[in-house]
Structure 1
Amino acid sequence: MATGVSVYVRRPRDLGLLIRERRLLLGWSQRDLAMRSGVGRQWLVDLEKGKAAAPLHLLIQTLDALGLVIRIFDDTPARLPMSRLVDSGPEAGPGAARDRIVRWRPRVTAPFDVPARQIAAGQAEPRHRAQDQGAGLTYEPTDFESLGETITKDKLYQPEYRAVIERMVTHVIRSEGPVFDELVARRIARVHGLARATGKLLQITRDVTDPVFARSSEDNRSIVWPGADSQKLVPFRDASKEVRDHPDVPLVELASLAASFLAAGHTISKTAELMSRRMGLKRMAENTRSRFEAAAELARSLGADQ
């Protein structure tokens, strides 16, 4: 594992202090960190004070935005076998968060630039490994309840509601990205009880994401990425047609599915047919075949079928 400075966290206050000092080291306000992490600002305020009963997934999102990871090690005298799997790091005393704060600082070039994730040498980032080929991965639509926001349909387009929309959009991208921006807008529309996303809501979504997230394009559609790297394949995530239909799966994700069939020795044409079955299509339209074949060609060109 990567070498780093260890911090003992034995109380919520220790963790809150670590997060606060890290944030200040980076020159971020609480609003900046809340936006980057996709969490509510008040939740973050309470977390820094050691008051929050922090859901683990929100805590991990916040630490990730700060370039930090959780490392668990055996602190018992017996040093149980689990300690072989993790790096215990140098010892520190209880409550030493202030003195032992991690000193790595990610590159920041804009107020909301997403810091690059730090991956240990020799380790792959599970979320974006093309070799995973989607085995066992499931596409989950965003759960907005974890944000703790009050959803108010009547305020959707009002200026004072923009901060809520910003947090919701960020939450969708962190949960579902890479994702087409119109799908992000649809998620926001549906949680507000709307059947579809209006052009105005789509524009608001783009206004929110443009300064913050990396983008790529596919056939005049815009894909928003949760991290800085928008030029690589990502694992395929299974979903029912009702949750996410095949046109809403980015080509870079379809290519990972195609790679698994190509690696088994299938041709480009046969791979498209197998992808169609995997997607639950009764028949494959010509434009769908062309897109699936394009995904297979992309996988082959990047060597993901090996």
Structure 2
Amino acid sequence: MMTAMELQQRGDLLTLDNMSTTEILQLLGEAEQFATGYEWTANQQAVVANLFFEPSTRTRYSFEVAQKLLGLHVLSFSEESSSVQKGESLLDTVKTFESIGANVLVIRHPENEYYEQIKDHLSIPIVNGGDGSGHHPTQSLLDMLTIQQEFGTFAGLNIVITGDLRHSRVARSNAAALTRLGANVKVAGPIDWMEGYTHLYEHVDFDTYLPQADVVMLLRIQHERHDQSMSYSKEEYHRQYGLSLARESHLKQHAIILHPGPVNRGVELADELVEGKHSRIFKQMKNGVAVRKAVMKRAILNQSL
């Protein structure tokens, strides 16, 4: 079985949990360079395969834009038209792409830790584009890049993550990494959506904590992962837990609003706030390309060692 260090050396990015804070900050530094105009071109023979077994807009296409701007040859996998429909296993699918010449695999999959069943059978790196309700390392990196650009540091920042934490791979990746980088992370929202968090992070009343927050990170309600007992109507959720115009008025002048998308306007936050003065939602999307350039460069260069 490959060790975390061996996976790092190969160029895999499965979670941020096995990366030191120094390594995270180095990757953010590389991403910031890309965000401010740095250019790097991969070997013209390098091939990357994007295997998305779940729907995606921002993650899939920002990876593709990043890859093409780096000069990579991009293979885009469609489950619906693949041999998965004939019963092909995940292992055989990824081994196929390795065999035909892919240098890196970017994978999004509905199963938590899907990579555990394939990582030891490959000689090329895996970049995790999201696994079930497990981890989403590149989303976390682009969120952190956006925060770093705004504040210059993570130390001492008050960050509240609110919404459907139980099912959120974004929340899981962010909460752990931001805490290690020195931020004060709190969680808010329905208490029955906090499974796995309340023993690690303080659960606060959203209205009470908002005036203290530097960063308000909102999460999409993942209705597709809920049973009926965990559902709220859109109106009820917004009234109780959403960032309304009234709640927004209590934010600090410098506070920023983040959301990984897709945004349910009028549910997690008021429609007017998506592009309001506190919002950095579209900046996050832009930063996604820079972060994914940095991640792809790391994976390609590690293959050249």
The bucket for the TM-score relative to the shorter chain is: under 0.3
- Structure scoring higher RCO (CA < 8 A, sep ≥ 6) equals 2
Q: TM-score, normalised by structure 2?
A: 0.23
> Which structure: greater strand fraction?
2
